[in-house]
Each structure stands twice: as structure tokens, then as C-alpha cells.
Amino acid sequence: MPDTPALLGGTPILEKPLPPPNSMGQEEIDAASRVIKSGVLSGFIGIPGPAHLGGREVLALEAWYKSKFGVKHAISVNSGTTALQAMITAAEIGAGDEVIVPPYTMCATATAVLCCNAIPVFADIDSRTFNIDPVDVRKKITRRTKAIIAVNLFGQPAALDELQVIADEHKLTLLEDNAQGPGATFDGRWAGTIGKAGAFSLNQNKTVHCGEGGVVLTNDDRLAHRCQLVRNHGEVIMDGLMAADPNEQYEPLLGNNFRLPEVLAAIAHEQVKKLDELTKPRVEMANYLTQQLESIDCLTPPYLHAKATHVYFVYAMKFDATIAGMSRETFVKAMQAENLPLGGGYVKPIYRYPIYQQPAHRCAGPFAYEKPSYEGRLCPVTENLYAEQLVTTNICRVPHTREHIDLLVKGIKRILAAKDELERL
Ligand SMILES: Cc1ncc(COP(=O)(O)O)c(C=O)c1O
């Protein structure tokens, strides 16, 4: 039978899984070899003076970010995780402060808070957008709350207007984790530039990348300066700055080495120039997939907030097992047997990881002293999406085309048509 699902012995729709996309071209190769030939693989020196701010490739990359996103400051670092850490420390969030984060995100959104000796407090997400729910954020505010980190999950900005209102009312700092959302907009403004600062990632799996890297964007001079200090052994620099100007006052600040090497900055600079050309087809493919899903009742395509544009870093849908007549597990397994890219659940709600669940442990920074309760189904919307409803695909990305989307939809239809046989397996 030509339409027998692969899980039931048919021929898979794709002979083998699609290879990971490779957006590296001659430009990146030339940029990397130019830097290697120069012999300067890092322009940073941990002493006061211009070299404290990095070499020419780092500065050129930062200039691109400033110009593209129309912000005063861009501070490159060596990962999205360290971008979050630098941003949190620079925003003067530290020991004992509570930071409200969503539990449905890459774990670094919350571990970065812990690494700054602050305490992540989880607010549930909106079941339509999958982004942090302003209504639940309000419920999680205590006298210790210092900040909200909005994650622009899957490439769609969170409800940044409502979150800013809450932040203003309670004198909190709104920060953005924009690792997944470069190029998206909210109310006509770039995601990652709306909060007091925004963290970006240049990790291998992102639309544009240099293997590992990150950037913080902000219009706030003080926050930017503090980011630069955290990135490069801040105390040594401050010491020098104070020696130069005894009137300068600096509070203690834990410096680190979050410096981005020159080769990676040069590769990243070539990559970011391709952001628009890699994002546009992604959005077109996602819109095409949304159209194709109109005839498939058991899958709800991504919901778009009225003020947002979405870059579909991940195309996330809701699966209804009752309508489908099969469990999500069977559906995902059957799609994977067709070699089609589809996953179920995204990530485990973050608070379920051992660092949050086990008794206070010395390695868990602030938890060595005090640990809030992360028990039970803390965030029920997230729990349901994780356990039952959410399915994702990353098929909407260059070099894939509409033909790949057609194959995905063909696979979905093939599997749903064989629901009874598949459920009996
Ligand atoms: C939402 C989110 N935050 C933070 C990060 C961390 O970025 P990086 O891997 O560059 O450290 C990622 C990366 O996967 C992410 O998706």
C-alpha cells in the first residue's frame, strides 16, 4: 500500500532525516582566515584603556547590532547564557533578589538568574502564545521581586507592553531573553530592544550563529558600562578607572571572562548580515504551513499576538489527541518513522530539574541559604503543553522549501488516516 505509514511497515516519506542546515559560506571562511592570518585571535586585555573593550572584529560586530536594531549599546559576549548573566548582573540584580521567569524556555533563562545569586520565580505561560502570562506574573510579585525576564519564545515576542506596565507599577526591571527572536517585532519595535536590555544568542542552532556567542543590547549607558565590566574582569578595570579619577564611584561588581574571540566575532559579523535573507523565507514557509494545516483539525497552528511579528525559530502547534484519535506519543513516533522533523513537548518545565527539586544544595548558589517551593504542578498551562499538547517542527528553515512543507503535511495526513492501526500497535 503506497500510503502505509512507515511505522506500520510502509516506505518512509523521506529516505533519511534532513541534514542540519549549514548557513556558512565563503564570506565566513574568508573572515575567519583573515583574522587567523592577522595573528590577533583576541583583542581583549583586562586593563583600563581601549583594549578593555575588545578588538576590531568585536567592535565591528557590535556596530552592526547597534545600527541594525537602532540601540545605543551592543555588548558582545561568548554565549547567549553569558549574555543573560552579564545583563542580569549589569541590571543590579543579585543576592536574594527574585526574578520572574517562564518555566517553558531553554534552561539558561533561569540558571543565569541562579548564577547571579538571585532566585528564579516561575510564572506560567499563555496557552495560546506560549509566552509568559502577565496575569500570572502579577500573582508572583513579592517584596523581593526585582525583575521580569520575558522570553520571546519560538521567535514571537512576549506581551511586552503589558509586562512593561507591570514592571513600571512595581518598580521592576523588564529584561528580554531574545535568543530565539532576532528579527521579530512588537508594536513596530525590534524584539530584544523593548525591555531595559535584551540578550541574544549566536549559538550553532540559531538562525545566525558563530558556533557559540551572544550579545546584549541596551539604550541604558550605565547598564551597558556594567555589562562591559562583567565581561572583562570588571574590578581590575574599575580600580584603574578610580585611580584615574578619584571622584569616580564604583560599587563591587563580580567580573568574569565572557569575551568573544576575534575569529568568532568575524564569522558572526558575516552571519548577521544574512539575518534578513534567512528569516524571510522562514516566515514564508511558516505561513504556507499554517495554510496547509487549515484542513487538519487536530493541529492548531501558532497563534500570533495582534502586536507581534513572528520569526518562527520554532514552528509550534497544539495537538488534540481526542480529535486525532491517537496519542501525541504515537503521532510523534509515526512522524519520526517517516524521517520528518517533529517533536513533542519541547522542554520539561524548568522547575522540575534537580537543581530546583532537591533539597538546598551548596552548588546551587542562593539555594544554599534559602529555597522557594518548586513543588507539584507549579505552572499547569506549561505542564499540559509539555505532557500532552505541544508539537514542534523546525522544518521551516533555509535551505528547505515549500516542497519540504508539502512532505510534512503529506506525512501528517498519512498518519492520521491510519490512526486505528497505529493506536493498536
Ligand atoms: C530562550 C533561550 N535562552 C537562552 C539560550 C542560551 O543561549 P546559548 O546557547 O547561546 O548560551 C538559548 C539557546 O538555546 C535559548 O533558546
Q: Does the CB atom of residue 180 touch ligand 1 within 6 A?
A: yes
The parent domain of residue 342 ranges over 275-424
Are 96 and 242 found together in one domain?
yes
Q: Does the CB atom of residue 151 touch ligand 1 within 6 A?
A: yes
* pTM score, whole prediction: 0.96
Cα 94 to chain centroid, rounded = 22
**Cβ-based neighbour number of residue 424 at 10 Å:** 8
Are 256 and 349 found together in one domain?
no
Q: State the amino acid at position 275 in one-letter form.
A: L
Are 105 and 206 found together in one domain?
yes
Of 272, 302, 317, the last residue of a domain is: 272
Are 210 and 332 found together in one domain?
no
The pLDDT tens digits of the residues spanning 123-175 come to 999 999 999 999 999 999 999 999 999 999 999 999 999 999 999 999 999 99
User: If phi over 0 gives left and psi between -120 and 50 gives alpha, with beta otherwise, what is residue 130?
Assistant: left
Are 301 and 369 found together in one domain?
yes
Give the confidence band of 241 by pLDDT, cuts at 50, 70, 90.
confident
Residue 15 lies in a domain: no
Task: Return the minimum-mean-pLDDT range out of 62-76, 244-258, 280-294, 299-313.
Answer: 244-258
Q: What distance in Å separates the CA atoms of residue 8 and residue 15, rounded to the nearest whole number?
A: 16
Residue 13 lies in a domain: no
Are 129 and 199 found together in one domain?
yes
CATH number, residue 380 = 3.90.1150.10
Percent of the chain with pLDDT over 90: 86
Count how many domains the chain has: 2
Q: Does the CB atom of residue 177 touch ligand 1 within 6 A?
A: yes
| Test site for ligand 1: of 76, 77, 78, 81, most ligand atoms within 8 A of the Cβ | 81
Of 272, 303, 329, the last residue of a domain is: 272
Q: Please state the atom number of ligand 1 nearest to the C-alpha of residue 313.
A: 16
Are 268 and 370 found together in one domain?
no
Mode of pairing for the β-strands spanning 214-218 and 73-77: antiparallel
Backbone angles phi, psi at 82, to 5 degrees: -75, -25
> How far apart, in Å, are the Cα atoms of 240 and each of 128, 258, 274?
51, 20, 39
Query: Does residue 370 surpass a pLDDT of 80?
Result: no
Cα 235 to chain centroid, rounded = 30
- Compute, in angstroms, the gap from residue 202 CA to the centroid of ligand 1: 9
Query: Does residue 10 surpass a pLDDT of 60?
Result: yes
DSSP letter string, 79-147: -HHHHHHHHHHHTT--TT-EEEE-SSS-THHHHHHHHTT-EEEE--B-TTT-SB-HHHHHHH--TTEEE
- Compute, in angstroms, the gap from residue 245 CA to the centroid of ligand 1: 38
Are 129 and 192 found together in one domain?
yes
Are 84 and 32 found together in one domain?
yes
Are 257 and 353 found together in one domain?
no
Q: What distance in Å separates the CA atoms of residue 305 and residue 154, rounded to the nearest whole number?
A: 13
Are 41 and 53 found together in one domain?
yes
Q: What distance in Å separates the CA atoms of residue 296 and residue 323, rounded to the nearest whole number?
A: 10
Of 242, 272, 302, the last residue of a domain is: 272
Are 267 and 295 found together in one domain?
no
